[in-house]
Chain A
Amino acid sequence: MSTATQDVKISVHHLTRVEGHGNIVVDVRKGKVEKCEWHVPEAPRFFEAMIRGRHYTEVGRITSRICGICSVGHTLASLKATEAALGIQISEQTFKLRELLKHAENFDSHILHVYFLAAPDLLGVPSVFPLVATHGPVVARALRLKRLGHEWGSLLGGRTTHPTKAVPGGFSSLPTRKELSELKAKMLAAIPDLEETLKTVAALAPKFPAFDRPTEYIALASDKAYAVYDGDIQSCMPDGKKQRYKVADYRKVTNEFMTPLSTAKYCKNKLDSYAAGALARFNNNYDLLHPEAKKVAQALGMKPVCGNPYLNTAAQVIEIVHTFHDSLRIVDELIASGIKDEQPVKPTKYATGAGAVEVPRGILFHEYSYDKDGMCTGGDCIIPTNQNHANIQKDFDKLLPEMLAGGKSEKQIELAMEMLVRAYDPCISCSTHYLDVKFV
């Protein structure tokens, strides 16, 4: 069949191996693209309406439920916003423990994505289950690493799905020095598993599709660290030019808007879309990566500014290593200084405040207002997947004609598009505000 006259009809209804519901619709008639869209039909949940009238100690416990996969990140973004609104300054110890908790989530989630959601594509199987028979030791290793992430996060947060111990002003309960030493021992014991992970990914790396569409990359940034828990907002353009914004000004960067093409809200800043996530962090903050993580980047042939969205998964692998080694540093510092018994810091005022953290899928913003009794009067949550939708659509717009011109089959195109969406590791279930889509 000549590609110029090819017909392609793709309707992936509820894309699998992603969190939440997304659809891909493609209609090509005689080589002409009539429709090429990424839709989100997730049921809306109205969190911003539900936090009204709730006490500030409850708000984080509610908005954590926006997403079960990044619930640590939602809790932390929520606490930061509440603390900004209530004039709470957390202690250095709390800061370190929160960083360690944030690292645990990114590690845990990246392991899940790389092994369970992305690897099956690279190995040509529909899911991790057939791999139990063919790649038993790899699956067992993945589950061991997943458990490490879970135990590491649970030590600090109480549990990893909707953590309980992180509260406004600090923690309701602290790990002991002994528990931290045990965590360190577990982490050290996992190093062989990590090394094997890198080998597996390096062997699969040539299977990442070649595709290039540099865009604007938005991530938290700080002069002190590869920012995950704290920093300003930073934009990195395809030419590497960077600009910083205050977190309180997040609306100037996110610019949510509606589009007739898709009913999900889109975000844009300098270009007509931007990307958030591991690749955005990598492109913004490469210089501050741990040396061990830089080695992995070299081994995978990754350099900033990288414009291949499929390599978001590779950036996650680099971050797994960074997060691991940076956490060992924090654990060592905490063991050396000892854990001080601290009560959560109390509010000093009641106003409006915003907070941001880097969840596995990108930068996450929460903002709340409180009345004089500490009751929430309203809020705003902008999740990374929401910020990525326009960018996914723009990737589609470039990818589809390229694949048609390359004479790819409908099946190949469908898989490439599915893989592209999965590479963003979208977390659609956290749709705080999405609209439904009906197909004609």
Chain B
Amino acid sequence: MARPKVAFFDFTCCEGCQIEFTNYGDAAFLELIKHVDVVEFREAMSEKTKDPIDIALIEGSFSREADRPRLEEIRKRAKIVIAYGQCATTGGINALKNHTTDYKKCVYGKDAEMPHLDSQKALPVDAAIKVDYKAFGCPVNKYEVLQIVSHLLHGKEPVIPTYPVCVECKRRETVCRYQEGDHCLGQVARAGCGAPCPADGIPCEACRGFADSPNEPALEKALRSAGLPERRAKEKSRMFTANQRSDSK
């Protein structure tokens, strides 16, 4: 692809995935913009365009019907759509409210039914439009995004891990959290992050969502065996996988 036009868009999210782009440092950032034209990036630039774009990077969940036309418009303009970050790929943290019905009331009290509080279930971007590639993570692994874009520039198919975080954790020879009397979601979490959390002494929370075919009952058993009470063991994985669990609403 010759010098593609790249644009960034955001929906319901914390913009942390966009911020990761400013964390590349001078070398990677200045190198990246040698190869692509950034044509829209509202967080950092005032320029806007109506032109077709080659790669649209979409951050954030689809959480209100009002955002559907904007998503459709992006799809129409873009050759390739990449959903990046957990909010965009699975609904992410925003979907943690999906199994509840009183979230509006809890936060807004008597104002809960005001019409402009339009918020539906938090869904991934591909609930509204076709998405070509997904970069998981909360936040995204910025080097993975770089790799996806670079593969696309070179006409290669990006490869995203389908196996669990435990694989990467073992590879870096981290002592398992279960050995330390703790618990962890690494068995069901999608790899690609390099397993930094267990290495830093805390459980993986599956911020990249589930790996392919996660064994949920086995996870619950493992969590119970680590001493978690039943309610917690059942709920534990929901933080970033609310839309992927077998009980997702």
Contacts and interface: CB of A to CB of B under 8 A. Distances in A.
A172 B202 contact: yes
A172 B201 contact: yes
A16 B45 CA distance: 6
Nearest to B108: A433
B38 A129 contact: yes
Contact of A19 (B15, B23, B114): B15
A45 B33 contact: no
Contacts of B139: 68, 159, 161-162
Given A58-B205, A112-B22, A129-B45, A429 B13 contact: yes
Shortest 10 CB-CB contacts between residues of A and residues of B: A68-B16, A127-B45, A147-B25, A172-B201, A143-B26, A436-B116, A49-B103, A126-B46, A49-B106, A68-B14
Contacts of A160: 23
B239 A62 contact: yes
A126 B200 CA distance: 41
B43 interface: yes
A414 B206 CA distance: 44
Interface stretch (B93-101, B146-154, B164-172, B213-221): B93-101
B14 A66 contact: yes
A55 B182 CA distance: 14
B196 interface: yes
Interface string B1-20: 00000000011111111111
Contact of A146 (B22, B111, B196, B232): B22
Contacts of B138: 65, 162
Nearest to B119: A44
B223 to A, nearest CB: 11
B229 interface: yes
Given A46-B119, A61-B239, A173 B201 contact: yes
Contacts of B239: 54, 58, 61-62
Contacts of A146: 22-23, 25
Interface in A65-82: 65-69, 71
Given A61-B205, A173-B201, A132 B93 contact: no
Given A143-B26, A258-B111, A436-B116, A17 B104 contact: no
A161 B102 CA distance: 29
Most buried by B among A126, A159, A160: A159
A140 interface: yes
B118 to A, nearest CB: 6
B44 to A, nearest CB: 5
Given A54-B239, A127-B45, A164-B202, 8 more contacts: A47-B107, A50-B103, A126-B46, A127-B41, A146-B23, A147-B25, A173-B199, A263-B116
18 contacts: A16-B45, A20-B15, A43-B67, A46-B103, A49-B104, A71-B16, A132-B33, A140-B30, A143-B30, A158-B196, A159-B196, A162-B207, A164-B197, A263-B114, A373-B229, A429-B15, A432-B107, A436-B116
B197 to A, nearest CB: 5
A325 interface: no
A25 interface: no
Interface string A370-407: 00010100100000000000000000000000000000
Q: Which of B23, B94, B107 has the most CB of A within 10 A?
A: B23
A17 B197 contact: no
A14 interface: yes
Interface residues of A, number: 66
A160 B29 CA distance: 17
A311 interface: no
B240 to A, nearest CB: 9
A69 B16 contact: yes
A150 B25 contact: yes
A127 B107 contact: no
Contacts of A96: none
A69 B19 contact: yes
Contacts of B201: 165, 172-173
B29 to A, nearest CB: 6
A68 B106 contact: no
Given A129-B45, A140-B30, A150 B67 contact: no
Contact of B104 (A19, A46, A58, A120): A46
B46 A16 contact: yes
A438 interface: yes
Interface string A172-199: 1100000000000000000000000000
Interface in A102-135: 112, 116-117, 120, 126-129, 132
A65 B17 CA distance: 11
Interface in B115-143: 116-119, 138-139
B64 interface: yes
A100 interface: no
Contacts of B29: 143
Interface in B199-249: 199-202, 205, 207, 229, 232, 235, 239
A437 interface: yes
B63 interface: yes
Interface string A150-166: 10000000111110110
Contacts of A147: 23-26
A120 B29 CA distance: 18
A50 B102 CA distance: 10
Interface in A20-41: 20
Given A132-B30, A437-B116, A49 B107 contact: yes
Interface in B42-76: 42-48, 63-64, 66-67
Contacts of B26: 140, 143-144, 147
A16 to B, nearest CB: 4
Contacts of A263: 114, 116
A437 B33 CA distance: 36
A65 B96 CA distance: 12
Contacts of B23: 146-147, 150, 160-161
A49 B102 contact: yes
A54 B228 CA distance: 13
A173 B104 CA distance: 37
Contacts of B22: 112, 116, 143, 146
Nearest to B94: A45
B103 A165 contact: no
A209 interface: no
